[in-house]
Structure 1
């Protein structure tokens, strides 16, 4: 999506997606409600400058980009942009773990095993993966 071709609501939706959180979590993070976030995204309610500044303060999202599509989503040094990209990838990975049925407790149990047992399980997984 080209930022200058979209609405503030669409940019906000993109922001929430990039952050890897849902509307309720985003609302809580800036002291708002999920209903307000939904109305901002749909365009039924205008995102005020003060609200955009709150988003910038909490999530480091440029308020100018959010409101007007000017500049970059993250007005940060390159090193911090890399950190955010890594964080987004990690967040997506954690989301996949949480969505896969039974995987989270399996990982919790795996971590408690001795290193030798973990190695055995890794080898089993590699063996089955190679059969695919």
Structure 2
């Protein structure tokens, strides 16, 4: 079992009832950052936050854009940590669309798990002016 990760702004979300199933989660509930990206919370579960460019398969002939029909419920499987008094979203968090009945999930939380390579800084080594003692001296304090 892998560790759960927190979700960042522009995370990739998926709706199985959208003709273009991948969308973006836009965070606008706070200004707290995680890895230089705004941290997603339960407040990021409204129409403007869940952005899909396809049409809803539940609409007449799949002709109506998801953006106009999406009716998000509440986020489930959220984290315990609070960001400005709102629970943080996890990569396992889901939200139901009350229009189509589909569960929208997070495909890519955009959290980076590897550190970027560090530049090699050419720094001259530092040497002390005098010999450093290699023995450790212990002293006892008298009362």
TM-score by length of 2: 0.25
Larger relative contact order, structure 1 or 2 (CA cutoff 8 Å, min sep 6): 2
TM-score normalized by the length of structure 1:
0.26
Greater helix share, structure number: 1
Which has the larger share of strand? Answer: 2
**Greater gyration radius:** 2
